[in-house]
């Protein structure tokens, strides 16, 4: 969750546009392959709920990559690999 606090200002500067929501929630759920952006909420696998003093650097990196990917969707939606929204 600390990562989100650092990533949001980065994206706001990068896209030159503030997040257009008053808050962005993070929801961690059991299961696999459940990472998803929702308007105002990022849903991720509970394994990505990281403890930086206990979890490996690799696990932290994987969780961070998933988080920043899903947060970016708050600005540009769900663009597929072909650049088509959907």
Residue 80, pLDDT > 60, answer no
Catalytic residues: 70
25-60: per-residue pLDDT in tens?
A: 999 999 877 788 888 899 998 888 888 889 999 999
Band of pLDDT at residue 79, cut at 50, 70 and 90: low
Claim: this prediction has a pTM higher than 0.85:
no
**Inter-residue long-range contacts of 61-68, CB under 8 Å, 24+ positions, other chains counted:** 63/3, 64/3, 66/35, 67/3, 67/4, 67/7, 67/26, 67/42, 68/3, 68/7
């Amino acid at each position: 969750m600390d990562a989100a606090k650092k990533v949001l200002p980065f994206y706001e500067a990068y896209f030159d546009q503030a997040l257009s929501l008053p808050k962005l929630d993070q929801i961690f759920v059991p299961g696999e392959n459940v990472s998803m952006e929702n308007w105002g909420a990022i849903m991720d696998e509970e394994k990505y709920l990281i403890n930086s003093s206990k979890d490996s650097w690799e696990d932290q990196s994987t969780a961070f990559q998933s988080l920043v990917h899903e947060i970016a969707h708050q600005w540009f939606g769900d663009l597929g690999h072909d650049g088509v929204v959907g």
